Structure 1
Amino acid sequence: MKPVENAVHLCVDMQRIFAKGGIWQTPWMERVLPTIAAIAARYRERTVFTRFITPVTPDQAPGRWRQYYERWRLATRSSLDGVQLDLVPELARYAPPAVVVDKPAYSGFFRSPLLEHLRGRHVDTVVVSGAETDVCVLATVLDAVNIGLRVVLVEDAVCSSSDAGHDALMTMYRLRFQEQIDVIKSEALPEHWR
């Protein structure tokens, strides 16, 4: 793998709503959290956290999202304890200097200032961690690929609530996107990103 340069650590949706006891609890989060925290600690100035921000009510959501939030009304901001959308405390302590970017959908790039922020810092590589491998991480990674960014996916720093979904996506990342996505273990990251 070639060296990682002009990069940010892009940590996707490590929020209380996905943590233990959250409405969208992702059981693996506890397992990968120490790894993600270590990456954020090492690259504090180069970390960007995304947060999935739900609408106040289902009526405020466009198209099929309205139906989604009718089902998940408990996740709308009118029903939710506001702290549920915060980063988990283990990561929140790094912001600032880390940057927090809010988004209304799965991808970190959709209707958010993320791309503008990356371009302003002349970033051409995103080192990706977070939740969930087969939903928000997937959407963010594919948008990064479509934009032309190099993606370095830290395989032991992503998690899902679906083992089958996680495994399928890790296989797809390795087999179908070899020119655009590098899959790496966290222990090897400092060797490639100094």
Structure 2
Amino acid sequence: MDWTPTSATVHLCLDMQRLFSPEQPAAPWPTPWLPRILPMVAAIAERFPARTIFTRFIPPQEPEAMPGTWRPYYQRWRHATRDHLAPEALELLPELARMCPPAMVVDKPVYSAFIRSDLAALLRRRGVDGLVVTGSETDVCVLATVLDAIDLGYPVCIVTDAVCSSVDTSHDAVLTLYRTRFAQQVITMTTDQLLDGWTVVD
């Protein structure tokens, strides 16, 4: 894909929350190398805070509040429901929260940021022409969101050193998938490559 970010491109950062940080006490889903990508995510958000949208993954109050296979999922991970979590576990990491506003926050209850959230309507209102995607996890919420973005027609840039997973093998496999099967709709680049090319002034 031949693509260049513009003044209508949005940085969509997925789920960089205390909930997933290995540095937070009692985080139910620690992602070991989330701290490693935080400086890159912050650098992109700091360059264009008004064009950044952060998502937060919000678990249900209790397993019984979720439909279908989500119910046994949260019965297994009951300690990750809001009945058991400290409220601050849902917050963005402090390095990113300080950018809101002008950065925006969209809450979501499932993997994809487009499902049961305000994201699609927000992007339409803003006339967004493409997405720069960062955050966690490469092979779960990032993957689900990217596939929905593709179906909606958005060109997607995955910042390879600003996404992370708990499983290195599936992280690598998904990046390979983007570069091969989705090469007409997805481009991959590093943070430095992105920032060198995204110089449009608001």
Q: TM-score, normalised by structure 2?
A: 0.94
The runs of 4+ residues in structure 1 deviating greater than 4 Å are none
Shift of 1:90: 0.9
- Is this contact kept in 2: 1:2–1:192, CA < 8 A? no
What is aligned with 1:2?
A: 3
Q: How far apart, CA to CA, are the structure 1 residues paired with 2:107 and 2:80?
A: 16
Q: How far apart, CA to CA, are the structure 2 residues paired with 1:51 and 1:3?
A: 27
Shift of 1:46: 0.1
| 3-state SS of paired residue (1:23) | coil
Q: How does 1:159-178 map to 2 (within 5 A)?
A: 159-178=164-183
Letter in 1 for 2:53: V
CA RMSD of aligned residues (A): 0.8
- Taking every aligned residue pair, what percent have the same amino acid on both sides? 55
Specify every segment of 5 or more residues in structure 2 that has no aligned partner in the other structure, as ranges: none
Shift of 1:106: 0.1
Letter in 1 for 2:11: H
Shift of 1:82: 0.7
Q: How does 1:24-43 map to 2 (within 5 A)?
A: 24-43=29-48
Specify every segment of 5 or more residues in structure 1 that has no aligned partner in the other structure, as ranges: none
Shift of 1:124: 1.8
| 3-state SS of paired residue (2:13) | strand
What is aligned with 1:17?
A: 19
- Count residues with an aligned counterpart: 194
- Is this contact kept in 2: 1:127–1:153, CA < 8 A? yes
Which one is further off, 177-186 or 1-10?
1-10
What is aligned with 2:69?
A: 64
Q: TM-score, normalised by structure 1?
A: 0.98
| Cα shift readout 1:125-168 (whole Å, capped 9, x = no counterpart) | 01000000000000000000011001011000000000011000
Letter in 2 for 1:2: W
Which one is further off, 16-25 or 102-111?
16-25
| Cα shift readout 1:77-105 (whole Å, capped 9, x = no counterpart) | 01111111110111101111100000010
